[in-house]
Amino acid sequence: MTQINEKIAIRTEGDIGFIVSDNPPVNALGIAVRQGMADALETLNADPAVKAIVLYCVGRTFFAGADITEFNKPRLSPTLQDVIAALESSAKPVIAAIHGTALGGGFETALGCAFRVAVPSARMGLPEINLGLFAGGGGTQRLPRLIGPEKALEHCLSGKPIGAKAALDLGILDAVEEGEPAAIGAAFARRVIDEDLPAVPVRDRDDKLAATRADPTAFDALAKKLTARSKGQAAPQANIDSIRRSFTMGLDEAMAIDAVANRELMSGSQSRALRHLFFAEREAARIPGLPESAKARPVARAAIIGAGTMGGGIAMCFAGAGLPVVVIDTTQDALDRGLERVKGNYATSVKRGSITQDQMDKRLALISGATDRAAAAAADIVIEAVFEDMDVKKEIFSDLEKRVKPGTILASNTSALDVDEIAAVLERPRDFVGMHFFSPANVMKLLEVVVAKDTSPEAILTAMAVGKTIGKVPVYSGNCDGFIGNRMVAKRSAQAERILQQGGWPQQVDAALTNLGFPMGPLTTNDMSGLDIGYSIRKRRGTPFPIADAIVESGRLGQKTGAGYYRYEPGDRTPYPNPETEAVIIATSEKLGITRREIAEEEMVERLLFPLINEGARILEEAIALRASDVDLVWINGYGWPRHLGGPMFYADEIGLPRIVTKLREMAAETPGDPSLQPAALLVQLADSGQTFAQWQKTRVAG
Ligand code: NAD
């Protein structure tokens, strides 16, 4: 083995040369790797004994992608495009031997090689769309040449990795073999040399483009279909445009345009938002201030108390991660109903093709039921999801504590109760933590890990780790009314109510946010969850909403009663305008002495979003959330905030904090009854000093 530099080495075995990358942890394609590969290629091409070259990586994966830390820095030569071009024009055929995950730039590197082989567990693809980009290293030009523009389009717009077997079937791979990457690469190189396999560079393959070139109609129709639900997003269209160039112009010409287009995306707000979220997720797992010795406890089995809507969904999360879980309810009847609902949910997924029958059977086999709490004795974590009633919860926890093993984590899925008050009944409150899932719990990614005052570092870490294991995005939250998300959403709900009183209609309020990219407006969402939930919280807090309250008091609780803000036809979830609600709205405006007026969409957006951003700032001041980016994750994963808008605090930074302060002051002046509209001290301080939430977060982490 000869080291080319600290990351790249070469060796030869007879007439086969090897380029070996060793850049832990994921063989990211940083400058040293790129330079090393270019030099290695030159050296091996100059070696007359070498007839074919195998490119592989040591460690857990082939090049997993670009070096994301180089994203915001000036480009260093050789660029990835330079290296891929060198691989492609190599006089001796290069065979990429793939294991682990070859994504983005890693996959594009493999596409620059004459041949690709992989181990069966390898996964590969172009996920750039998830960062608001397209594969600018030639991926959108070479993939269509291998598998055809339509298949390439489907892949690039989904951004989901492809398994080795599927990649072989698609024609991306030349072989899939068990073994070490070096060995399977060498075996294929042997064939290339002995059988004289034609090494046609991907750039010169043309047959897969021919049909689409002659008739692009099907391509355009597919593009339209696949982007029907990506309103307002720049990256899907940029992927389409780029792949379209694969069959309308030559590779070099297309790549020159690609470079400009991708640079534009890269500096645009949407890609910055998506990259912000990429880092935010990694960052959220770190909880500063915990002792280094604190570790998450191992969790091999779980128990859920309550087989209702949430309990069943949470059980599905554990089963989905392969962990056995017992669901405990008070009566056999409640239990049966709960487990039936779980079965029904799985059956729907099988019908939709998102899981197989075999997966359904395996998951169901992991979920058991019981009516006796003794069944929780073996669990490493117990999550309570019974009625939202303090006394019921207190009774459950004080009893459970006596039944479980020492060290078992006791968690509550309460949405709004004081976790300190629940913990107060426990002998060992250190093991207690809030785990606030969102409905439907088997689908929604957000998990607020709510920390009570006595919660131990181990309990926090275990809740965070379990959340990750079962596919959630866990976010640390301090204890306060509504925690992070619901506390902020309350501010939006208050504005929605006021907008209706002052002249807006439900469909306008909802459209203001769906036009921005939210999948559903706030009032349709309330209708879906049930209007009685908010009603009972308002009663408890003593904060009446005249319109919302009147709707509930007339027996209209949302979708489940066929009417709420909207009207619903049986078996149809489409919200239709509801004349009865409109009458309630008009009567309320009159009663309050408000002359209804036309409210522009822009005003609605500001009024719905700025107060919740303001509450986010207070949540940061009070250290309920650890970071502005954590608040963003809550909204992205729990409340439908469009990913390409980065979350409320990122959005606020983009809009400019001074403007938000000015608008909030105007709103506060118009609504003297609501002092929460006064801009938060942190917001004012940042706006006055020309700072952003992102900058504030950095200084806090550094300090
Ligand atoms: P649900 O009414 O659908 O289910 C509650 C279940 O708990 C029922 O099956 C009931 O039989 C069972 N139960 C009641 N007392 C019990 C006891 N002593 N022992 C065992 N089981 C008992 O309620 P849900 O919507 O699933 O909500 C459960 C919890 O989750 C609540 O604290 C709620 O605030 C919280 N939550 C709900 C949502 C939501 O959108 N539904 C979201 C987040 C959190």
Q: Which of 335, 415, 435 to mutate to test the pocket of ligand 1 (most atoms within 8 A of CB)?
A: 415
> Residues of the chain with pLDDT > 90: what percent?
95
Neighbours of 306 (CB within 10 A): 26
pLDDT of residue 70: 83
Taking only the tens place, the pLDDT of each residue in 657-684 is 999 999 999 999 999 999 999 999 999 9
Does position 176 have pLDDT exceeding 80, yes or no?
A: yes
* Centre of ligand 1 from the C-alpha of residue 312, in Å: 10
State the sign of the Cα–Cα–Cα–Cα dihedral 185, 186, 191, 192.
positive
Please identify, by atom number, the ligand 1 atom nearest to the C-alpha of residue 392.
18
CA gap 267, 272 in Å, rounded: 7
CA gap 247, 253 in Å, rounded: 11
Cβ distance 247 to 209 under 8 Å?
A: yes
Q: Which amino acid is at 539?
A: K
Secondary structure of residue 302 in the 3-state scheme: strand
Report the pLDDT averaged over residues 31-52. Answer: 98
pLDDT of residue 594: 96
pLDDT of residue 701: 61
CA gap 612, 640 in Å, rounded: 14
Report the pLDDT averaged over residues 386-392. Answer: 95
Nearest alpha carbon, ligand 1 atom 43? 438
Report the pLDDT averaged over residues 465-490. Answer: 97
How distant, in Å, are the alpha carbons of 83, 225, 271, 345 from that of 65? 14, 29, 17, 36
Give the tokens for residue 231.
């309103």
The residues annotated as belonging to the active site are 108, 128
Neighbours of 308 (CB within 10 A): 17
Check whether the bond before 611 is cis (ω within 30° of 0).
no
Taking only the tens place, the pLDDT of each residue in 583-612 is 999 999 999 999 999 999 999 999 999 999
Q: Which of 305, 317, 329, 481 to mutate to test the pocket of ligand 1 (most atoms within 8 A of CB)?
A: 329
CA gap 526, 508 in Å, rounded: 15
Report the pLDDT averaged over residues 297-308. Answer: 98
DSSP state at residue 596: P
Does position 72 have pLDDT exceeding 90, yes or no?
A: no
Please identify, by atom number, the ligand 1 atom nearest to the C-alpha of residue 437.
43
From 70, 17, 24, 108, select the one nearest 6 (Cα to Cα). Answer: 24
Q: Is 486 in the pocket of ligand 1 (CB under 6 A)?
A: no
Nearest alpha carbon, ligand 1 atom 17? 330
> C-alpha angle 577/518/344, rounded to 5°?
80
* Centre of ligand 1 from the C-alpha of residue 333, in Å: 15
Does position 703 have pLDDT exceeding 80, yes or no?
A: no
Q: Is 483 in the pocket of ligand 1 (CB under 6 A)?
A: no
Q: Is 308 in the pocket of ligand 1 (CB under 6 A)?
A: yes
* Centre of ligand 1 from the C-alpha of residue 373, in Å: 16
Does position 75 have pLDDT exceeding 90, yes or no?
A: no
State the sign of the Cα–Cα–Cα–Cα dihedral 297, 485, 228, 207.
negative
- Return the beta strands (E) in 513-671 as ranges: 566-567, 576-577
Cβ distance 692 to 613 under 8 Å?
A: no
pLDDT of residue 54: 98
Give the tokens for residue 633.
């994750």
Neighbours of 78 (CB within 10 A): 17
* Centre of ligand 1 from the C-alpha of residue 561, in Å: 20
Task: Output Rg (C-alpha) for the chain, integer angstroms.
Answer: 28
Q: Which amino acid is at 679?
A: P
Cβ distance 213 to 248 under 8 Å?
A: yes
DSSP state at residue 557: -
**Which conformational region is residue 450 in: left (phi greater than 0), alpha (psi within -120 to 50 degrees), or beta?**
beta
Q: Which of 304, 309, 527, 528 to mutate to test the pocket of ligand 1 (most atoms within 8 A of CB)?
A: 309
From 614, 631, 586, 606, select the one nearest 675 (Cα to Cα). Answer: 614
pLDDT of residue 533: 87
Q: Is 392 in the pocket of ligand 1 (CB under 6 A)?
A: yes
Taking only the tens place, the pLDDT of each residue in 613-645 is 999 999 999 999 999 999 999 999 999 999 999
Cβ distance 489 to 608 under 8 Å?
A: no
> Residues of the chain with pLDDT > 70: what percent?
100
* Centre of ligand 1 from the C-alpha of residue 321, in Å: 22
Average confidence score pLDDT of the chain? 96
Taking only the tens place, the pLDDT of each residue in 147-162 is 999 999 999 999 999 9
How many residues does this entry show for the chain? Answer: 703
DSSP string for residues in 37-69: HHHHHHHHHH-TT--EEEEEE-SS-S--SB-GG
Report the pLDDT averaged over residues 443-463. Answer: 98
Neighbours of 171 (CB within 10 A): 13
For the chain, first and last CA: distance in Å?
A: 45
